[in-house]
Amino acid sequence: MNQRRRPTQSDVAKAARVSQATVSLVLSGSPHPRTRVSDESRQRVLDAAEQLGYAPNALAQGMVRGRSRVMGVFTYEPVFPRDGSNFYHPFLVGMEAAAEQIAVDLLLFTSAPLVGKRRRLVDTGWNRVQIADGCVLIGRLGDADEVATLSEQRYPFVHIGRREGSQQLPIPHVGADYVAATAAVVERLHGLGHRRIAFLGDLGGAVSALDRLNGYRTAIERHGMRPIMLDAAAFSPGETIEVLTTNGATAVLLSTVTISPQELADAATHAGRTVPTDLSIAVLGESEVSPAIDRRWSGFTIPRVEMGEAALRLLDQIVRGDTDLPHEQLLPCATVPGTTVATVS
Amino acid sequence: MNQRRRPTQSDVAKAARVSQATVSLVLSGSPHPRTRVSDESRQRVLDAAEQLGYAPNALAQGMVRGRSRVMGVFTYEPVFPRDGSNFYHPFLVGMEAAAEQIAVDLLLFTSAPLVGKRRRLVDTGWNRVQIADGCVLIGRLGDADEVATLSEQRYPFVHIGRREGSQQLPIPHVGADYVAATAAVVERLHGLGHRRIAFLGDLGGAVSALDRLNGYRTAIERHGMRPIMLDAAAFSPGETIEVLTTNGATAVLLSTVTISPQELADAATHAGRTVPTDLSIAVLGESEVSPAIDRRWSGFTIPRVEMGEAALRLLDQIVRGDTDLPHEQLLPCATVPGTTVATVS
DNA sequence: CTGAAAGCGCTTACAG
DNA sequence: CTGAAAGCGCTTACAG
């Protein structure tokens, strides 16, 4: 009965007594078409479209234009995990803001089932990905092969988080400048009189961990200090404090998911050292696993909202075919004054 | 150079020395096709597709099938507001879980710009909406006309939150059973000996508020008690306590965004009444504005994750053309024992 | 200025 | 069993 299908350009054309092509020209033609339509025809088309409630089929437009004005967001883990942790939220805040400005919709690839703990992009999600003009990739579990495949296929994408590619196939990404931010923390501590500053981190090999380590080393060496690097995985909080004391450290930079700042502070207290009077603690950004770090911890925060925004903007430029774009965009981290660093006593 | 376009079925056909139609049949034909392909051809097609890295163009499939396996999520306010509030998050948790199971992707309509404080669905977003097979609508600011337009156009959609339509055009929705949940709270208090139970709420007229009020009244009358209904907008917390005392209320149900449970409790303390000894307080679900309610408050919570899941499931059924679906699906709220109600003293 | 035509990449009857 | 053809709704040269 009322189950009428949506009107198409042909319907409008019939009503306006023009050709379907003319309708297309009037309703969704380029602003500077090579062919013009008489004002009379144009008006008839406009009226008919209005009257029929015509709206273009975005799928058909997307197909012929090769663009859909949809940007994909692929996360290797669930975007909205059930456990209430909320790692991706800030990125999405930024992406939504940017999406509104560049007028694109965001497609979350929720159809790719989790295999093990992560989603497979290329296998299952591959043909789905192409619904979008490009894709933002987020997550720690990113697979190098998958990313390489995207590159090879010249599919436009931007990775959130620093990521090394190859000379021929660089990986466009938006990251945080951990090197500078970590160096700045060292500078700050040095300015407060600290001369024995330790680094407690996951010395495994993640890019983001290495960046922090590099920033630490550079700044330490610049001031002729001796680096004290501890692998968080090797010690319990109590042992860590012991080692710090043995090394005469008056400050420690924390870059690990193994020990929380609170655990470390508790261990210090337990050992009779007061934070920050006897030991300054600085946190090098929220960890990805437990993003919520209280603002009272001194250190820096990762500019996630800005990273989300920048990633979508960069992706948009890539999709538009802008060439000569930098493959790397590093955003500055914001210093957190906090209350856990102080002048050396 | 390497700027090769993605291979199409025609490319595969050429490589496999069959027709494009045969490729379609092999690669994305229905499980029970009316025409069969010889095993030999099939294998050649499969090999060629593999070799060329063929993946179907989901846009083209969507167009010809009239389905895209994309479900839209339309929120009248930003999904991810910058202020860090997080109203939609639980719904998205549920929708993502359901999306994975029914194998659809989620399209967030972030391209519709905010007009004033809200997005316009029909104007700007209208043709975008149709990229999706159907759409989940969430938000307090829903416009009745827009929803009516969707109904008239027979566009598949599901509203989250109870919503009355008309006889001819009912609005499919998933809500929470506030009536039953509120009645249950009254029952609980009655069981604890309370005989003068007040209701403090926004008596304005939102459906969800009326539901709670109805549940309250029904339960109150069932036990022959006298209803005590207070408009939260009319009193300060201090005055509220006064009125409650005057009315001899030993318990109060809180259903308002005007006064927070904590404010009310503080006012009670200030007036020399201890919670819950002298006054039991029950909270009738998280408010939409400040969703985080501590579990220590007795009352109930809104099953948002489940609502998100149910909404997407219902939408999927509607899209599949399931007829005779109930237009309303009410989910039970979970009781929160809490520590703010006690036996009447 | 306007219409007929080709084509985007697919699916699905319909002939051979 | 396989191919040629039509068509989904659009855009964009190309003739009149």
- Closest-lying nucleotide for B44 based on CA to C1': D2
Q: From the CA atom positions of chain B, what is the Rg in Å? A: 27
Tens digit of pLDDT for each residue in B210-249? Answer: 999 999 999 999 999 999 999 999 999 999 999 999 999 9
Q: Which two tokens stand for residue B337?
A: 């024992």
Which residues on chain B are in Cβ contact (under 8 Å) with A109? 105
- What pLDDT band is residue B2 in, cutting at 50, 70 and 90? very low
> Left, alpha or beta for B224 (phi > 0: left; psi -120 to 50: alpha)?
left
pTM of the model: 0.89
Report the distance separating Cα B345 and Cα B337, nearest Å.
19
Report the distance separating Cα A113 and Cα B101, nearest Å.
8
Residue B83 has pLDDT above 80, yes or no: no
Q: Which two tokens stand for residue B330?
A: 């009410």
Q: Which of A24-28, A107-111, A169-173, A194-198 has the lowest mean pLDDT?
A: A24-28
Residue A289 has pLDDT above 70, yes or no: no
Write down the residue that tokens 């992009």 correspond to: A121
> CB of B198 within 8 A of CB of B252?
yes
Between helix B261-270 and helix B237-246 the angle, nearest 10°, is 60
CB distance A154–B305 less than 8 Å?
A: no
Strands A70-75 and A105-108: what pairing? parallel
Domain B9-56 and domain B70-176+307-334, same fold? Reply is no
The pLDDT of residue A292 is 63
Q: Which two tokens stand for residue B259?
A: 């006064």
- What pLDDT band is residue A1 in, cutting at 50, 70 and 90? very low
pLDDT mean over B55-79: 87
Write down the residue that tokens 């304005």 correspond to: B204
Percentage of chain B modeled with pLDDT above 90? 50
Interface test with A, best of B2, B28, B59, B169 (most A CBs within 10 A): B59
Chain D positions under 7 Å from a protein CB?
1-15
Query: What share of residues in chain B are helix, strand, coil (percent, to 5)?
Result: 40, 15, 45
Size of interface A-B (CB pairs under 8 A): 148
Report the distance separating Cα A154 and Cα A168, nearest Å.
12
Helices (H), B71-198: 89-102, 126-129, 144-152, 178-191
Q: Which two tokens stand for residue A312?
A: 């979508």
Phi, psi of A181 (to 5 degrees): -65, -40
**How many alpha carbons lie under 13 Å from residue B232 in its C-beta half-sphere?**
21
Phi, psi of A58 (to 5 degrees): -65, -30
**How many alpha carbons lie under 13 Å from residue B342 in its C-beta half-sphere?**
10
pLDDT mean over A200-221: 90
Phi, psi of A99 (to 5 degrees): -60, -40
CB distance B80–A92 less than 8 Å?
A: yes
CA nearest B278: which of B241, B324, B232, B312?
A: B241
What does the mean pLDDT of chain B come to?
87
CATH 1.10.357 fits B9-56, yes or no: no
> CB of B58 within 8 A of CB of A63?
no
Taking C1' of C9 and every protein CA, the nearest residue is B60
Mean pLDDT highest for which of A246-250, A291-295, B81-85, B141-145?
A: A246-250
Q: Distances in Å between the alpha carbon of B298 and those of B55, B216, B254, B285, B341?
A: 54, 16, 10, 10, 6
CA nearest A179: which of A132, A211, A142, A204?
A: A211
Measured between CA atoms, how close is A262 to chain B, in angstroms? 23
Contacts (Cβ under 8 Å, ≥6 apart) of A4: B154
Which residues on chain B are in Cβ contact (under 8 Å) with A303? none
* Gap from B235 CA to C12 C1', Å: 68
Output B65 or B221, whichever has higher pLDDT: B221
Domain range summary for chain A, segments of one domain joined by +: 9-56, 70-176+307-334, 178-302
> CB of A336 within 8 A of CB of A300?
yes
Report the distance separating Cα A208 and Cα A204, nearest Å.
10
Report the distance separating Cα B276 and Cα B281, nearest Å.
7
Protein residue ranges contacting nucleic strand C, Cβ under 7 Å: A 17-22, 35-38, 40-42, 60, 63-64; B 5-6, 8-10, 20-21, 24-25, 27-30, 34-35, 56-57, 60-61, 63-65
pLDDT mean over A307-322: 93
Tens digit of pLDDT for each residue in B284-294? Answer: 987 655 556 67
- What pLDDT band is residue B31 in, cutting at 50, 70 and 90? low
Cross-chain CB nearest to B70 (options A4, A107, A130) = A107
- What pLDDT band is residue B111 in, cutting at 50, 70 and 90? confident
pLDDT mean over A203-226: 91
Helix, strand or coil for residue B217? helix
The pLDDT of residue A28 is 76
Contacts (Cβ under 8 Å, ≥6 apart) of A135: A71, A72, A73, A74, A129, A150, A155, A156, A157, A158, A315
The full DSSP string for A251-317 is EEEEE-SSS-HHHHHHHHHHTT--TTTT-EEEEES--SSS----TTSEEEE--HHHHHHHHHHHHHH
CB distance A57–B127 less than 8 Å?
A: yes
CB distance B59–A100 less than 8 Å?
A: no
Give me the CATH topology for the region B178-302.
Rossmann fold (3.40.50)
Cross-chain CB nearest to A96 (options B53, B80, B103) = B80
Tens digit of pLDDT for each residue in A114-151? Answer: 777 777 776 666 778 888 999 999 977 667 777 888 88
Residue A52 has pLDDT above 90, yes or no: no
> CB of A325 within 8 A of CB of A172?
yes
Peptide bond into A172 cis (omega under 30): no
Residue B5 has pLDDT above 80, yes or no: no
**Closest residue on chain B to A98 (Cα):** B110
Percentage of chain A modeled with pLDDT above 90? 50
Phi, psi of B229 (to 5 degrees): -110, 125
Question: Which amino acid does the sequence have at B66?
Answer: G
Which residues on chain A are in Cβ contact (under 8 Å) with B4? 154
Contacts (Cβ under 8 Å, ≥6 apart) of A88: A75, A79, A80, A138
Tens digit of pLDDT for each residue in A219-258? Answer: 999 999 999 999 999 999 999 999 999 999 999 999 988 8
* Gap from A224 CA to D13 C1', Å: 70
Q: Which two tokens stand for residue B198?
A: 């007040």
Tens digit of pLDDT for each residue in B292-333? Answer: 667 889 999 999 999 999 999 999 999 988 878 888 999 999
Report the distance separating Cα B96 and Cα A111, nearest Å.
9
Domain B70-176+307-334 has what CATH class? alpha beta
Question: Which amino acid does the sequence have at A127?
Answer: N
Tens digit of pLDDT for each residue in A327-339? Answer: 899 999 999 999 9
Q: How far, rounded to the nearest angstrom, does the alpha carbon of residue B87 sit from its chain's CA centroid?
A: 10
Report the distance separating Cα A172 and Cα A326, nearest Å.
8
Interface test with B, best of A123, A131, A154 (most B CBs within 10 A): A131
